[in-house]
Structure 1
Amino acid sequence: MQGVPSQLASRQDAAEFRLAAHRSGVELYRAHIVRHAFEPHTHDGFGLGAIESGVERFRYRGAEHLAPPDSVVLMNPDELHTGRAETEGGWHYRMIYIEPTAMAEVTGEPGWWFDDVVREDPSVAQRVTASLDALWAAREPLAFDSLLFELLSLVRPHAHVPRKACDGRPARFAPVIDYLHAHLSRRLTLDELASVAGLSPFHFLRQFQTQHHATPQQMLMAFRLAEAKRQLAGGERPARVAAAVGLADQAHLTRAFARRYGTTPARYQRGLLGQ
């Protein structure tokens, strides 16, 4: 990343990076910076993120700015800026750097621009932090792309977006729904599902969201857990169920099942089977 060293001199400072192998033009970054002072630098893409704790001071467009806890950072591409800690304990923050072409592909709206580099909006900042954490943890390409779309939807109200023609009537996605049901155990990609619908990837994602009020990944997880419920009711062991529906392991099944149904797979199965 331009302007950000891969190794920081002070042991108090820590920074990590992650690229999505399947999605070019997108880089994730998270850091706790105490002593390091970033020299003037730029990024090819938009820098979007949130401050979790502490305060950052930086110079941007010729003015000094402070980014306090629970604030959203919204940087435009190619803007020279600095960065250093304003508070003794430094600051924790998460960012995503997304190139304009990738931004336009995801949103279907070229020409985004931000006037305010810092927005103090605790509710949005906390959701941005949670989204960036989820993106960092995402290992399935479809999950990553769905989360990326949700993140950009969170910050869209703060952006200037040129008016554009309507996408038209939402497409119908029965073949995609059938495809999801038929491939629960596979690591699906957005491109793959879009090809089933006969649309470009993020046009498909936007239309799917409009019609179903959920991303394809959310729909896939709902189908996976519904199938898991059916298999558990049939007496199948949770570990085998997890593998059959495409979840990482039994622990993943337990967490996902409890979030949706309020109980663990084992308790659900024992209750049904009278054990």
Structure 2
Amino acid sequence: MQGVPGQFEHPADTAQFRHPPHRAGIELYRAHIVRHAFELHCHDGFGLGAIESGVERFRYRGAEHLAPPGSLVTMNAAELHTGSAETAGGWRYRMIYIDPALVAHISGEPGWWFDEAVCMDGIGTRKVTALLDALWQADEPLAFDSLLATLLDRFRAHARVPRPAPAQAAMRFAPVIDYLHAHLADRPNLDQLAAVAGLSPFHFLRQFRAQHHATPQQMLMALRLARAKRLLDAGEPPARVAAATGLSDQAHLTRAFARRYGVTPARYQRQVGAGQP
């Protein structure tokens, strides 16, 4: 990966993103990761993909998961998760990140939800891998959209529709998440967040960790980087993105972005053609 400033520890680690120019709300991703360990992060859309080889270990919704070859990965939107290799040769995989509203539009069924993060489906995984590869190669909008509908048909068998009602605890902390979204460029403290939740500071901290399996600071950083990714998609210069998301400078953005998404902001923008007509 010549020209990429040391975001990976191993020369075999590669990650690529692609956006279809005609269809908003979709990000295609393919990678081979050997040593890089992704820090807690989130994506705006569902994370749907297939493990081609090797085994991935990731933390998601408070539990450790292993995704071996022949498995599908089904993550709900905006859920914090990590990622690292469980096998010496790393793991190779393909993903699509897709806006839930677009899934509802294509399928005609709002409220998709996935109970299981890993689904064993050897034949289905091979078909999903082939579809994701075909989507990456598709250069005609009609062909792309037809493949996309077929791909979602494959994942429909693993989805729970409609989504179950959120737990009361999740609803209680929703205003805190909204507050964090509104103050990404600020430095909110524990007392401020606890006041939003109507709890004493450390009681709030304990309850928040129990609900989200992350500290408020980890959640804040994940939201900052997710917002940074959207701004980079829109073609904003990295220095301006850093300032808008509460990061100290462009170097801080570069380090934090690479730790969570596997590429530098500049390389990400080149891959997805950010800012191009």
Q: TM-score, normalising length from structure 2?
A: 0.56
Structure 1 counterpart of 2:123: 123
Aligned residues: 159
The reply on whether 1:25 has 2:25 as its aligned counterpart is: yes
The reply on whether 1:89 has 2:89 as its aligned counterpart is: yes
1:18-58 deviations in Å (ceiling 9; x for gaps) = 10100000010000000100000011100000000000000
Q: Which residues of structure 2 form unaligned runs of 5+?
A: 164-277
Please tell me the root mean square deviation across aligned C-alpha atoms, in Å: 1.7
Q: Is the 8 A contact 2:113 2:162 kept in 1?
A: no
How far apart in 2 are the matches of 1:28 and 1:63? Answer: 26
Q: For 1:49, what is the secondary structure of its paired residue?
A: strand
How far apart in 1 are the matches of 2:122 and 2:44? Answer: 27
The reply on whether 1:56 has 2:56 as its aligned counterpart is: yes
The reply on whether 1:113 has 2:109 as its aligned counterpart is: no
Note closer, same or farther for the CA distance 1:7–1:108 as it changes in structure 2 (3 Å cut). farther
Note closer, same or farther for the CA distance 1:91–1:18 as it changes in structure 2 (3 Å cut). same
Structure 2 counterpart of 1:140: 140
Structure 2 counterpart of 1:8: 8
Note closer, same or farther for the CA distance 1:135–1:37 as it changes in structure 2 (3 Å cut). same
Q: Which residues of structure 1 form unaligned runs of 5+?
A: 164-275
Q: Is the 8 A contact 2:8 2:35 kept in 1?
A: no
How far apart in 2 are the matches of 1:102 and 1:76? Answer: 14
State the identity as a percent. Answer: 69
Note closer, same or farther for the CA distance 1:84–1:149 as it changes in structure 2 (3 Å cut). same
Q: For 2:157, what is the secondary structure of its paired residue?
A: helix
Q: Is the 8 A contact 2:32 2:90 kept in 1?
A: yes
Spell out structure 1 runs of 4+ moving beyond 2 A. Answer: 5-10
Structure 1 counterpart of 2:41: 41
Higher relative contact order (CA 8 A, sep 6+): 2
How far apart in 1 are the matches of 2:110 and 2:70? Answer: 28
- By how many angstroms is 1:11 displaced? 1.4
- By how many angstroms is 1:9 displaced? 4.5
Q: TM-score, normalising length from structure 1?
A: 0.56
Note closer, same or farther for the CA distance 1:20–1:6 as it changes in structure 2 (3 Å cut). farther
Note closer, same or farther for the CA distance 1:120–1:36 as it changes in structure 2 (3 Å cut). same
Q: For 1:29, what is the secondary structure of its paired residue?
A: strand
Tell me which structure has the larger Cα radius of gyration.
1
How far apart in 2 are the matches of 1:6 and 1:75? Answer: 28
Q: For 1:28, what is the secondary structure of its paired residue?
A: strand
The 5 A counterparts of 1:1-275 are 8-162=8-162
How far apart in 2 are the matches of 1:13 and 1:49? Answer: 18
